[in-house]
Structure 1
Amino acid sequence: MRKMNIIHRFNLIVLGVIVLAEFSKCTEFVPVYIWGTSRTIEHQPALHKVSQNSFKDDILDRLKSNPILVVFTEQTLSPEDFSQRDESGFTTYPRLLKLRKTYKASYFPYVQNPIKALDNLVGNPTLISADQITEGWNVPDSQIIIIELNDASENEQRHEMLKRHDSLIASVYEKVLNKYGNVLAIYTAHRTSWVGSEEIVQSRRTRSLLASDLNSTTNQFFGNDIFFYTSGSAILNGADKVNLTYTESNESSVLTLTGSGISENGAKVDLKLNFTRTASNYWNLHVVVVTIDSVTFHEKVNGTIYAPLAFSYACGNQVFKNASLGQSITLPRFQVQPLYRQTILTQQMKFDDPYHCVGFTSIPIWSGLFVTFILMLIMTFGLTMMMDIKTMDRFDDAKGKTITISAAE
């Protein structure tokens, strides 16, 4: 009997673990951006993550003024998408962020299954695909409008798609607002677009490459001897864009990566990166040769781009320039690794951990250390002054003789 109870309890534990595992699979925490014409109380979540029921109650409170509800749904979205910037430094959502100056906006970075919470609220919504929204699009007569932003192009980068959706959201919201006047808008997604932190660490080089062709040699190259990646087109002299197609060669212990292309302004561009191996088990980028039309300049990197053999090198925007000729080329989100040594990650077509162009003591760290040093000096000076204060060591006795202090004292 006792043995049967133990088996029964064990089966219950196993069943509970399975239920929890399945529950965790169906739970998605995605960001939600809400704005509207009605001035409501700003809801600040007590916890970092907002549960499905809490989000549902929040929306019910906002719907008390009976607004038209417009829901914009991405297929995937994460908080990192809101902080992402393009190669020129511009945010992905310029028009969406401007709405905060006119309307009361709320942003929740992690909301549990917001689409499911909204499904329990809405009655008969009007579902519209982003492809159906054209210049002559008419706003439907509906209390609830759901717009599916499912028009991603095969060759379109993610930040370009999100920026296009940002313009679409702003124009649709303005059109609905002109018709109804009282509108509540929600921007969210079905699933999260970023993998967990452990996966990011192990496949840091992949970024958005999971959605691209690894066999492509335009702006990226994954060959037998060199891994190379940039997030987009190279930029000549700060303005002229060019897509470079890369090839590799290995001659006399020098690995050479060669990129060629025609810029938007018609300039012919050739880029050569020559890598060498040192005796101390490091690799370095020895020299860079850039040819723009008939102008050629060599830049000796002088060992600033280097890493151990089992590491890659990464930089936000890598610039090679010649001040005397006034020529430069910028590689956005540059990462490279010559394969002098094969590792488990490189065999899986992944970069190894990177050496970054920004060292450990970056500008914010130096700023923090400088401010801390100034505060320590002020505190030390104050304590020294306080310790130097001399207190009285003789006092009058009401019953005794009056203290007489001479001029010498």
Structure 2
Amino acid sequence: MAGSRSCTRLMGVYILLFAPFFALGSATSQVPFLMWSSERLPPLASPAAGHIASYEQLSAYLTSAFSSGSHTVLLFLQDKLSKDDFTVFGGVFGNKEDSAFKNIEDAMQTSASKVTLPSLEWSGSFNMAALLQEKLGVSPVLVDADTLSHLTIKTSASNLLLINLPYCSSLQKSCKEVLHENDEIIGKVLSSMKAKNIPYTAIYTGFQPSRVISETPISDQPVGRSLLQAAVSEVKPPIMFNVSGGPCIMLWAQNLNVSLGPNLPWTDLAQETPSLVGSLCNGSTSRLVLTYQSGFTLSFSMSKRFYSVSAREWFSLDAVELQHANLHASYIASRDINAPAEYSFHCQSVATFGDALLSKNITEGNSSEWKLNFINFQIQGFGLSSTNFSYASDCATFFTPAIWMGLVTVLLTLLILVYGLHMIMQINTMDRFDDPKGPSISVPQSE
């Protein structure tokens, strides 16, 4: 019973912290605000779904919280933080061992009172340290977990202790590792305060958001039925490389996901607009070079050949290259990535793992842990006559393993049925019992 209650409380914290809140209005920058204390805090109603707390609302609440008496405030100010960080790197279904915020979650559950604002309005002038300095009347003191244990804290006056925390900004560590290390620092600071038996109020927030979420007003969304043409117009156009004679190469993908390490997050290059400098095409080869402002360069090399067996020309995707920060990786495309020269090629997933259509070229490249995953991918390097793709040759064959299993099952069932009917038709009755004019059967009786 106690285990179920703790699990219920933990799920309640997850629902409060990590549930998506959709605000009304245009694009809004937001940071989460977590506050817990070893003492009682003034009550604050839980924000309704879609509500973004303003800077003025937070200021009014802090005024009521620190209006009287002396307070020791621990401000854990991370370089960047968004509510999506809790969703992505928090524990799944209450599994705290997998969470990057284990100590924060424990502190929120065991504190005397807590306040959570999943969406706090942020602007360039937002300064949490300055706001707390105004409410407490003291200047912030920059400390870390190691020096705090040797620091003498006078509880007779208010104290504002500032602990700066980094955010994932390099390729050396994943975001989850950085957030986990920050959580360990927070846990060490809280343990030091408990060892000193000093009442405190802790605040965890970000100096700026790590993600800016564009939110569309509900009033702008179409209600009821809408024309299919209106929905199609929202689809992003394909990437097109033109020469003097017209379009030469076209590419479209729902997602162009790249990852620079096994524990690093995916980056979707399809959300950026690339430069096509370096692309080329002629009668036999085509090369599409996509250079993005984020520092990535993605290249697709294609060739066209004539095959006498089919008596027609086919094009194939030969290689894909990824470059970033003076490092690059090369991948050889499978023979399945091909189509007639006048067609385009389409595949739901082109990846370097699983049922990989791209394999690492060990003779080229100096990064072996990079991964690619192209979703709903379509490309055409030859035979373009307009701004639309030609008929697509899909990588998924018509006779999939499931279809073959179904056909074999139906065939076996049909054979059994035919054999059964044949056996039934071969059954003959005895004519002797059916003919009344035939000789009678005598059965000798034994004495």
**Superposition TM-score tier, normalisation by shorter sequence:** 0.3 to 0.5
Larger Rg: 2
TM-score (norm 2): 0.43
TM-score, structure 1 as length reference: 0.46
